[in-house]
Structure 1
Amino acid sequence: MSTDHVPAVPESAPSRRDRVYATIRDELMNGGFSPYERLTEERLAERHGVSRTPVREALARLQSDGIVVKREGGLYLYVPSFRELTDLYELRITLELRGLTRALEDPTVRHDRPRLEAELDHWYGLRDHRPAPDAGFVAHDEQFHTTLLDASGNPALTGALAQANRRIRSVRMYDYLTEDRMTATITEHIEIAELVVRDRLPEALEALREHVGASREVVMHRAAAALEMTRNLAGQVTR
């Protein structure tokens, strides 16, 4: 049987869906669309040279991420108010720190060490094979923080954190677009988890407080820039 001709392997549906999702997401986050511009399957499919199916799936994922919202009978880029973002970040910080303070206050509260060690292994892998800056890295970050909190044994706190994360995810994605923030996130996550695994909770609490605070400053700075861009776009629309 001849082996001269090997048929090309077609691109898999999942990889095509992921590509369309990532492309639209990055355009939304980098000012490619005004918050006042309706996002339609037809226009996006034509823009990216694909069928409407992967675009429809991408828009559904972007809604789940909180980047796209439904209003006025259509889908639009979501831009939270600065006050809303401030309040949600305060909630996030309170929940995350509580996972450690409750263990400090009650000696019967013990963190799930095997879960934290497994999460540490994941971050050691990211440190050794560092991915390029990408907004999607927020999924790794959320996993770390929810695992750290859940390991303290109160699922109600974890559920509240997951809900807060969903509401600020669209803005927090801006935290992972530069090499320095990627490096800092990986390094600090490893430091925090190692301290908790070693039962050095006071030090872990301080490291977590500094880590989340630094992330907050970056996100708020970039959120302010995004809101300014939104105001400029609104001015262009109304001219």
Structure 2
Amino acid sequence: MARRGRIPLSERVYRALQRDLAAGVLVPTERLGEERLAEIYGVSRTPVREALARLLADGLVERHPGGLYPYRPRLDELADLFELRILLESQGIHRARRLEPADEQGVSVEGGGTGGPSAPAAPSPSCAAPEPAAPPPTFSAGKPAAPPPSFAVREPAPPPPTLAVREPAPLPRRHDAAILDVELDIWRHLRSHPPAAGAELIAADERFHLRVLAASGNAALADALGTVHARVRPIRALDMPTPERIAAMTADHIAIAEQLLAGDLDHALRSLVAHITMSRDHVLARAEHALRLTKLARALRD
């Protein structure tokens, strides 16, 4: 049994393979043979086999007749992954929107229960139907008459309940403000000190979207988004954004964080979807261009 606090060997191999697949260290067209990988990472075949099984389940490795190979998305699959990303990240904002009170102000009956509909008010005493009169006394011969009935004065009915305006309920926490504040500070700093294109920028971009989604309170959504990032990352690693695109990305991240912190969920959702859509369109355009160049290169002779 592994000691407490130590990372199991299969987990370390899994993380190393995941990192190298994303960075393009492992050639996409070469088979992921257990013996070769065991030699590369200095381990036996067992942890390699366990790591490959997990990567296959994650969708980062795919099985072909000749064995396992790094996952390479087709154009339509790449578009599907961006669509899934939009659904996951939008759900974080929709989830926060459902936490808003449906009615921030309402009417309640003083002295009544909370939350339920008010009972109808009792009718006013002046409107109550009169009680039937007692029958007149009868007299029998030779017997003294019965005393006249006595009439008790009724106590006045309590006044009808008064209606009071309920104070607005406090808004529930929509997103974790501490997480958003940290990311906002990071991207404001990057706005003043623009980063270079490369792996660090991709990691910072992915971290922003993961943390924003995690701030909505659903860790499972963030985990699913992490898998999507891992499958798209090899394509993004080959796409070097221009300084103008980096500046646009930075501005979008700042705007999204500020809108979420202000509770402006509608604008935040529109900004988020537009931001991801622009990234999708650019990546797809670059991928299509690369495919055309590849076909052209195949048609040429040295």
TM category (shorter chain) comes to: 0.5 to 0.7
TM value normalised by structure 1: 0.66
The equivalent of 2:210 in structure 1 is 146
Matched, 1:201 2:194: no
| Distance change in 2, residues 1:175/1:205 (3 Å) | farther
| Distance change in 2, residues 1:231/1:38 (3 Å) | farther
| Distance change in 2, residues 1:176/1:103 (3 Å) | farther
Q: What is the Cα-based RMSD across aligned positions, in Å?
A: 3.7
Whether the 8 Å contact between 1:115 and 1:151 is mirrored in structure 2 is: yes
> Cα distance, 1:216 vs. partner?
0.9
Matches within 5 A, 1:1-239: 72=66, 79-107=72-100, 108=172, 110-174=174-238, 176-233=240-297
- Pair member with larger Rg: 2
Whether the 8 Å contact between 1:69 and 1:75 is mirrored in structure 2 is: yes
Aligned equivalents of 1:25, 1:167: Cα separation in 2: 12
Deviations 1:142-190 (A, max 9, x none): 0000000000001111111111111111123355431111111111101
Runs (5+) with no aligned partner, structure 2: 1-19, 33-39, 42-54, 101-171
Runs (5+) with no aligned partner, structure 1: 1-20, 40-51, 54-62
Please give the secondary structure, in 1, of the residue aligned with 2:217.
coil
The equivalent of 1:45 in structure 2 is none
Structure 2 residue identity aligned to 1:98: Q
Aligned equivalents of 1:208, 1:132: Cα separation in 2: 23
How many residue pairs were aligned? 192
> Cα distance, 1:79 vs. partner?
3.9
Please give the secondary structure, in 1, of the residue aligned with 2:279.
helix
> Cα distance, 1:104 vs. partner?
1.4
Structure number having the greater helix percentage:
1
Please give the secondary structure, in 2, of the residue aligned with 1:141.
helix
Aligned equivalents of 2:241, 2:286: Cα separation in 1: 11
| Distance change in 2, residues 1:231/1:224 (3 Å) | same
Identical-pair percentage? 41
Whether the 8 Å contact between 1:109 and 1:152 is mirrored in structure 2 is: no
